[in-house]
């Protein structure tokens, strides 16, 4: 019987051949230096329009100084898990300051948003329960439900009626309604007020992954839940990540004090992993102060986004209905997206081509993202480069993407 078993080398070679045939190979690219909105890649200086450093805080002197000062005093490592000896005063202060900013009773730190999503779902749901999710939710939410062993039901994107149908068609047990606040590939917002009504009617826990909303949207940058004027009673659990608008690393769950307390004692991805380095927590604390008070950063993002949409629309580029710094330029065909990304890079602009399975089939795109570090002149240059790239690809055809470096894409 074992002679019929699949060999691992055969499996990965077959999978690689399929990716090559469908223009879906992926390779890391090494950034050798960053300076503001520019990155040095393969010896070339490119204006970066594919990162998530929305507020431009990752290189801010106050954030860097906080990291360096804490590292000099406390070292570079996290030492152990939080419940052993890894929970530092910097972690305690970060949890307290984050909860105060976001208007929650309590917060709990994690090494990444992926780990936090696993904790939120796995820490609450089991095989007798159900997790109902938007079809375009981040992959970590999908994986979290699978790891929890609960029933996973998905509803059409941003469709509250679809969510209520899924919740009605499940037996008794704990129910969670989980959604991104800002959808990372489309840039649009979840209909949170309607989803809150659905969750209340169906006695479900509403969980919002606000990775791309915190720092960018809402009063004082408190995110999509605050922008929707919803309270902890209506949304008892949220995710905030530090590696996007805050320019740091890590994540936190925040919300109802009893719920966060439960996860602090039971969430496997919190209990069984090393705590963030105290220096990283110190850097995030400095970033929170800036994000909370520097309203001009959000105002500049909104201005750049509106300017891009107006000019790109006049040029006939196909955009999605997004008012956030995530601005997808639709290409449809995978090879066309790759060819467009390569043409942009040749003009000095780094924009990622996003292809399935990250997005649905036939929905490949360029994911343009803005930062407070960008200038209007750089945005104008990108728009002109997009127009030239679209014209070039239309003339040459997307077959030119066969020679494009797959490293520009996801």
16-42 residue pLDDT tens: 999 999 888 988 999 999 999 999 999
pLDDT surpassing 80 at residue 3: no
Residue 375: count of CB within 10 angstroms of its CB: 13
| Per-residue pLDDT tens over the stretch 215-257 | 999 999 999 999 999 999 999 999 999 999 999 999 999 999 9
Contact 274, 268 (CB under 8 A): no
Cβ-in-10-Å burial (0-12, 13-18, 19+) of 180 comes to buried
In this prediction, residue 24 carries a pLDDT of 87
Residue 26 has which token pair?
């992926």
Average pLDDT over residues 69-93: 95
| Per-residue pLDDT tens over the stretch 337-358 | 999 999 999 999 999 999 999 9
Cα gap 56→310, rounded to integer Å:
23
Q: Which residues are annotated as a binding site for substrate?
A: 26, 138, 358
pLDDT surpassing 50 at residue 175: yes
pLDDT surpassing 60 at residue 267: yes
* Beta-bridge mates of residue 180: 209
pLDDT surpassing 70 at residue 56: yes
Tracing tokens 């969670």 back to the chain, one arrives at: 176
The confidence band for 172, taking pLDDT boundaries of 50, 70 and 90, is confident
Q: Which residues are annotated as a binding site?
A: 26, 113-114, 138, 184, 212, 241, 358
In this prediction, residue 169 carries a pLDDT of 81
User: For the chain, what is the mean pLDDT?
Assistant: 94
Average pLDDT over residues 263-276: 96
Average pLDDT over residues 302-321: 95
Cα gap 401→188, rounded to integer Å:
28
Phi, psi torsion values for 137, nearest 5 degrees = -60, 155
401 vs 190: which has the higher pLDDT: 190
Predicted TM-score (pTM) of the model is 0.94
The helix or strand, by DSSP H or E, that contains position 47, with its residue range, turns out to be strand 44-48
Domains and CATH numbers, the chain: 25-55+295-408 (3.90.1150.10), 61-293 (3.40.640.10)
Q: Which residues are annotated as a binding site for pyridoxal 5'-phosphate?
A: 113-114, 184, 212, 241
Average pLDDT over residues 326-335: 94
% of the chain with per-residue pLDDT over 70: 96
Core vs surface per residue 356-372: b (16+ CB within 10 A) or e: eebbeeebbbbbbbbbb
Average pLDDT over residues 163-188: 94
Residue 34: count of CB within 10 angstroms of its CB: 16
pLDDT surpassing 60 at residue 279: yes
How many residues does this entry show for the chain?
A: 410
In this prediction, residue 83 carries a pLDDT of 94
In this prediction, residue 410 carries a pLDDT of 62
| Per-residue pLDDT tens over the stretch 156-168 | 999 999 999 999 9
């Amino acid at each position: 019987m074992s002679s019929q078993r699949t060999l691992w080398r055969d499996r990965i070679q077959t999978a690689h051949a399929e990716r090559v045939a469908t223009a879906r190979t992926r390779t890391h690219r090494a950034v050798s230096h960053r300076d503001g909105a520019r990155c040095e890649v393969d010896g070339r200086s490119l204006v970066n329009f594919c990162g998530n450093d929305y507020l431009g805080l990752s290189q801010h002197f106050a954030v860097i100084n906080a990291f360096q000062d804490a590292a000099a005093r406390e070292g570079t490592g996290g030492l152990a898990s939080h419940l052993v000896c890894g929970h530092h005063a910097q972690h305690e202060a970060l949890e307290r300051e984050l909860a105060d900013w976001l208007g929650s009773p309590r917060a709990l730190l994690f090494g990444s948003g992926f780990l936090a999503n696993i904790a939120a779902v796995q820490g609450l749901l089991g095989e007798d329960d159900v997790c109902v999710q938007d079809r375009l939710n981040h992959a970590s939410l999908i994986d979290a439900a699978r790891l929890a062993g609960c029933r996973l039901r998905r509803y059409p994107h941003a469709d509250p009626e679809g969510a209520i149908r899924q919740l009605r068609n499940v037996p008794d047990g704990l129910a969670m309604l989980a959604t991104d606040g800002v959808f990372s590939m489309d840039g649009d917002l979840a209909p949170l007020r309607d989803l809150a009504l659905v969750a209340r009617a169906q006695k479900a826990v509403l969980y919002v992954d606000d990775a791309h909303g915190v720092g960018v949207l809402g009063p004082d940058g408190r995110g999509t839940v605050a922008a929707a004027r919803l309270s902890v009673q209506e949304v008892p659990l949220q995710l905030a990540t530090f590696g996007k608008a805050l320019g740091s690393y890590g994540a936190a769950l925040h919300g109802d004090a009893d719920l966060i307390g439960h996860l602090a004692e039971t969430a496997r991805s919190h209990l069984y992993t090393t705590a963030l380095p105290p220096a990283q927590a110190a850097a995030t604390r400095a970033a929170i102060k800036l994000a909370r008070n520097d309203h001009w950063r959000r105002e500049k993002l909104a201005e750049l986004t509106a300017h891009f949409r107006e000019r790109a629309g006049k040029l006939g580029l196909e955009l999605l209905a997004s008012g956030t710094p995530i601005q997808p330029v639709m290409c449809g065909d995978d090879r066309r997206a790759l060819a467009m990304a390569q043409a942009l890079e040749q003009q000095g602009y780094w924009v990622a081509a996003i292809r399935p399975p990250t997005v649905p089939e036939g929905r490949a795109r360029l994911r343009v993202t803005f930062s407070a570090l960008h200038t209007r002149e750089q945005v104008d240059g990108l728009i002109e480069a997009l127009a030239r790239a679209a014209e070039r690809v239309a003339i040459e055809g997307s077959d030119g993407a066969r020679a494009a470096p797959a490293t520009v894409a996801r």
